[in-house]
Amino acid sequence: MARHRLLLAAAVVLALAAASIADDARQILLRMYMHNVFGPPGQRVVLIVKGAGPMNPSMPPEHYFGETYAFDDSLTQNRSSSSKQAGRAQGTAMLASMRHPVYLVNMVMLLTGGEYDGSTIVVEGRLDASKKERELAVVGGTGEFRLASGYVNCTTAREEKKFTVYELNVNATIPGDDSEPEPDTGRRRRRIPHF
Protein backbone atom coordinates (compact mmCIF):
# COMPACT_ATOMS: atom_id res chain seq x y z
CA MET A 1 0.00 0.00 0.00
CA ALA A 2 2.80 2.41 0.90
CA ARG A 3 4.47 1.61 -2.39
CA HIS A 4 1.33 2.60 -4.33
CA ARG A 5 1.15 5.91 -2.44
CA LEU A 6 4.79 6.58 -3.24
CA LEU A 7 4.19 5.88 -6.93
CA LEU A 8 1.09 8.10 -6.90
CA ALA A 9 3.02 10.90 -5.20
CA ALA A 10 5.84 10.60 -7.74
CA ALA A 11 3.31 10.74 -10.60
CA VAL A 12 1.73 13.89 -9.16
CA VAL A 13 5.13 15.58 -8.75
CA LEU A 14 6.09 14.70 -12.34
CA ALA A 15 2.76 15.98 -13.66
CA LEU A 16 3.17 19.27 -11.79
CA ALA A 17 6.74 19.64 -13.07
CA ALA A 18 5.58 18.96 -16.64
CA ALA A 19 2.74 21.49 -16.27
CA SER A 20 5.18 24.09 -14.96
CA ILE A 21 7.48 23.54 -17.93
CA ALA A 22 4.52 23.61 -20.35
CA ASP A 23 3.35 26.95 -18.88
CA ASP A 24 6.71 28.54 -19.71
CA ALA A 25 6.96 26.97 -23.18
CA ARG A 26 6.70 29.16 -26.24
CA GLN A 27 5.46 28.30 -29.68
CA ILE A 28 7.25 29.48 -32.82
CA LEU A 29 5.57 29.41 -36.22
CA LEU A 30 7.69 29.93 -39.34
CA ARG A 31 6.98 29.69 -43.07
CA MET A 32 9.82 29.39 -45.57
CA TYR A 33 10.52 27.91 -48.97
CA MET A 34 13.14 25.26 -49.74
CA HIS A 35 14.67 25.24 -53.23
CA ASN A 36 15.67 21.70 -54.27
CA VAL A 37 17.83 21.97 -57.46
CA PHE A 38 18.62 18.61 -59.14
CA GLY A 39 20.75 19.78 -62.08
CA PRO A 40 22.88 22.61 -63.39
CA PRO A 41 22.98 25.49 -63.05
CA GLY A 42 23.07 25.79 -59.28
CA GLN A 43 22.71 22.07 -58.48
CA ARG A 44 22.17 21.53 -54.73
CA VAL A 45 21.13 17.86 -54.64
CA VAL A 46 23.53 14.99 -55.44
CA LEU A 47 23.12 11.22 -55.49
CA ILE A 48 25.67 9.87 -53.00
CA VAL A 49 24.57 6.21 -52.87
CA LYS A 50 23.10 4.38 -55.84
CA GLY A 51 20.52 2.00 -54.40
CA ALA A 52 21.52 -1.65 -54.58
CA GLY A 53 17.97 -2.83 -53.96
CA PRO A 54 15.23 -3.47 -56.51
CA MET A 55 13.86 -0.75 -58.77
CA ASN A 56 10.97 1.10 -57.11
CA PRO A 57 7.87 0.61 -59.33
CA SER A 58 6.19 3.80 -58.06
CA MET A 59 9.07 6.00 -59.22
CA PRO A 60 10.43 6.98 -62.64
CA PRO A 61 12.93 4.46 -64.09
CA GLU A 62 16.37 4.22 -62.49
CA HIS A 63 15.18 4.80 -58.91
CA TYR A 64 16.24 1.95 -56.65
CA PHE A 65 15.53 1.07 -53.03
CA GLY A 66 18.25 2.53 -50.80
CA GLU A 67 19.38 5.34 -53.08
CA THR A 68 20.52 8.27 -50.97
CA TYR A 69 20.78 11.95 -51.80
CA ALA A 70 22.61 14.74 -50.00
CA PHE A 71 21.25 18.28 -50.27
CA ASP A 72 22.28 21.81 -49.36
CA ASP A 73 19.21 23.83 -50.33
CA SER A 74 18.53 27.50 -49.92
CA LEU A 75 15.64 28.58 -47.70
CA THR A 76 13.88 31.77 -48.73
CA GLN A 77 11.05 33.90 -47.38
CA ASN A 78 9.01 33.58 -50.61
CA ARG A 79 8.65 31.09 -53.48
CA SER A 80 11.07 32.96 -55.70
CA SER A 81 14.71 31.88 -55.50
CA SER A 82 15.64 35.57 -55.67
CA SER A 83 13.62 36.45 -52.56
CA LYS A 84 15.31 37.21 -49.24
CA GLN A 85 17.35 34.30 -47.86
CA ALA A 86 16.10 32.71 -44.62
CA GLY A 87 18.84 30.08 -44.31
CA ARG A 88 19.98 26.66 -45.56
CA ALA A 89 18.42 23.19 -45.41
CA GLN A 90 21.19 20.59 -45.26
CA GLY A 91 20.75 16.84 -44.98
CA THR A 92 20.03 13.52 -46.63
CA ALA A 93 17.05 11.72 -48.12
CA MET A 94 17.04 7.95 -48.64
CA LEU A 95 14.48 6.01 -50.70
CA ALA A 96 13.22 3.83 -47.85
CA SER A 97 10.40 1.87 -49.50
CA MET A 98 10.63 -0.85 -52.14
CA ARG A 99 7.15 -0.12 -53.49
CA HIS A 100 6.21 3.48 -52.69
CA PRO A 101 7.82 6.93 -53.14
CA VAL A 102 8.79 7.16 -49.47
CA TYR A 103 11.98 8.79 -48.22
CA LEU A 104 13.66 8.83 -44.83
CA VAL A 105 14.67 12.48 -44.37
CA ASN A 106 17.27 13.89 -41.97
CA MET A 107 17.64 17.66 -42.21
CA VAL A 108 19.13 20.59 -40.32
CA MET A 109 17.65 24.00 -41.09
CA LEU A 110 20.27 26.69 -40.41
CA LEU A 111 18.51 30.04 -40.03
CA THR A 112 20.27 33.24 -41.06
CA GLY A 113 19.33 36.81 -40.22
CA GLY A 114 16.82 38.20 -37.79
CA GLU A 115 16.22 37.03 -34.24
CA TYR A 116 17.00 33.38 -35.08
CA ASP A 117 20.33 34.05 -36.83
CA GLY A 118 22.66 31.08 -36.33
CA SER A 119 20.00 28.88 -34.72
CA THR A 120 19.17 25.47 -36.18
CA ILE A 121 16.06 23.31 -36.34
CA VAL A 122 16.64 19.56 -36.59
CA VAL A 123 14.00 17.73 -38.64
CA GLU A 124 13.57 14.02 -39.26
CA GLY A 125 10.95 11.62 -40.51
CA ARG A 126 9.19 9.63 -43.18
CA LEU A 127 8.27 11.66 -46.25
CA ASP A 128 5.70 10.09 -48.59
CA ALA A 129 6.17 11.96 -51.87
CA SER A 130 2.78 10.74 -53.15
CA LYS A 131 0.95 12.79 -50.49
CA LYS A 132 -0.04 16.40 -51.14
CA GLU A 133 0.84 17.44 -47.59
CA ARG A 134 3.68 15.72 -45.77
CA GLU A 135 4.67 15.97 -42.13
CA LEU A 136 8.11 15.63 -40.58
CA ALA A 137 9.07 15.85 -36.90
CA VAL A 138 11.05 18.65 -35.27
CA VAL A 139 13.35 16.67 -32.98
CA GLY A 140 15.62 19.39 -31.61
CA GLY A 141 17.73 22.37 -32.47
CA THR A 142 20.35 24.81 -31.29
CA GLY A 143 20.37 28.45 -30.22
CA GLU A 144 16.80 29.74 -29.96
CA PHE A 145 15.53 26.24 -30.85
CA ARG A 146 17.41 24.30 -28.15
CA LEU A 147 15.26 21.33 -27.04
CA ALA A 148 12.61 22.17 -29.67
CA SER A 149 9.86 19.71 -30.52
CA GLY A 150 7.05 19.94 -33.02
CA TYR A 151 6.45 19.33 -36.69
CA VAL A 152 7.01 20.68 -40.20
CA ASN A 153 4.24 20.53 -42.80
CA CYS A 154 5.70 20.31 -46.29
CA THR A 155 3.86 20.91 -49.58
CA THR A 156 5.10 21.30 -53.14
CA ALA A 157 4.83 24.97 -54.12
CA ARG A 158 6.39 24.63 -57.59
CA GLU A 159 7.85 21.76 -59.59
CA GLU A 160 9.80 21.68 -62.83
CA LYS A 161 12.17 19.19 -64.45
CA LYS A 162 15.35 20.18 -62.60
CA PHE A 163 14.00 21.79 -59.44
CA THR A 164 11.24 21.71 -56.86
CA VAL A 165 10.24 24.42 -54.41
CA TYR A 166 8.71 23.21 -51.15
CA GLU A 167 6.67 25.32 -48.75
CA LEU A 168 7.72 24.49 -45.19
CA ASN A 169 5.48 25.45 -42.28
CA VAL A 170 7.35 24.95 -39.02
CA ASN A 171 5.46 24.62 -35.73
CA ALA A 172 8.02 24.33 -32.91
CA THR A 173 7.58 24.40 -29.15
CA ILE A 174 10.52 25.56 -27.04
CA PRO A 175 10.65 24.73 -23.31
CA GLY A 176 10.56 27.73 -20.98
CA ASP A 177 13.75 29.22 -19.59
CA ASP A 178 13.99 28.09 -15.99
CA SER A 179 17.70 28.77 -15.79
CA GLU A 180 19.47 30.82 -13.16
CA PRO A 181 22.54 33.05 -13.59
CA GLU A 182 25.69 31.43 -12.23
CA PRO A 183 27.46 33.46 -9.57
CA ASP A 184 30.68 35.12 -10.78
CA THR A 185 30.16 34.34 -14.51
CA GLY A 186 26.66 35.56 -15.30
CA ARG A 187 26.16 32.51 -17.54
CA ARG A 188 22.83 30.76 -17.21
CA ARG A 189 22.55 27.29 -15.72
CA ARG A 190 19.42 25.17 -16.12
CA ARG A 191 17.75 24.24 -12.88
CA ILE A 192 17.21 20.50 -12.52
CA PRO A 193 14.18 19.58 -10.42
CA HIS A 194 14.86 17.23 -7.52
CA PHE A 195 12.30 14.65 -6.46
- The mean pLDDT value of the chain amounts to 85
CA 95 to chain centre: 18
The confidence score (pLDDT) of residue 16 equals: 44
Q: How confident is the model at residue 12 (pLDDT cuts 50, 70, 90)?
A: very low
Q: 131 has which bridge partners?
A: none
Give percent of the chain with pLDDT exceeding 90.
Answer: 65
The Cα–Cα gap between 125 and 150 comes to: 12
This prediction's pTM? 0.78
* Residues 96-112: tens digit of each pLDDT: 999 999 999 999 999 99
pLDDT at 4 over 80: no
Domain coordinates of the chain in residue numbers? Answer: 27-177
pLDDT value at 128 more than 60: yes
Q: When comparing pLDDT for 157 and 183, which is higher?
A: 157
pLDDT of residue 21: 45
pLDDT tens-digit series, residues 28-79: 999 999 999 988 988 999 999 998 889 889 888 888 999 999 999 999 999 9
Q: How large is the average pLDDT for residues 149-166?
A: 95
Model pLDDT, residue 59: 85
* Domain covering 27-177: architecture: Beta Barrel (2.40)
pLDDT of residue 149: 98
pLDDT tens column, 77-88: 999 989 999 999
What is the average per-residue pLDDT within 19-36? 82
Cβ contacts of 70-73, under 8 Å, gap ≥ 24: 70/45, 70/46, 71/36, 71/44, 71/45, 71/46, 71/107, 72/44, 73/34, 73/35, 73/36, 73/37, 73/44, 73/45
- Residue 188, pLDDT score: 52
